[in-house]
């Protein structure tokens, strides 16, 4: 699938991930802002398709883009065995 193919983005892997019930306000595993005083900040340049996906997930779940990104990164790093599961 070409990276810039916008027609297939809804039915590609990203579309399936948007419907994933594991990401909901009741299943968050990364500590929220109210759990500690100051959070570290990381700025990164990401592909526009990833940005749209994270924003869509944010709107669908009611979580901030930052919270969604934390959850996605945490889940991926645990699955890759780069981070221990909490």
- C-alpha torsion angle, residues 62, 64, 68, 74 (rounded to 10): -130
82 alpha-carbon distance from chain centroid: 17
Closest alpha carbon to 9 in 45, 49, 56, 47? 49
> What is the residue-averaged pLDDT of the chain?
75
- Model pLDDT for residues 27-66, shown as the tens digit of each residue: 666 655 555 557 788 899 999 999 999 999 999 999 999 9
Residue boundaries of the structural domains of the chain: 43-86
Buried b (16+ CB within 10 A) or exposed e, 33-63: eeeeeeeeeeeeeeeeeeeebbebbbeebeb
CA distance 61 to 26: 10
- The pLDDT of 3-13, averaged and rounded, is 42
Global pTM reads 0.57
């Amino acid at each position: 699938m070409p990276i810039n193919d916008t027609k297939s983005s809804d039915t590609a892997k990203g579309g399936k991930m948007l419907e994933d019930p594991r990401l909901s306000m009741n299943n968050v595993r990364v500590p929220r802002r109210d759990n500690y005083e100051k959070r570290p900040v990381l700025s990164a340049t990401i592909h526009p398709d990833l940005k749209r996906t994270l924003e869509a997930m944010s709107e669908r779940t009611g979580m901030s883009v930052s919270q969604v990104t934390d959850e996605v990164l945490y889940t991926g790093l645990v699955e890759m065995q780069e981070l221990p599961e909490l």
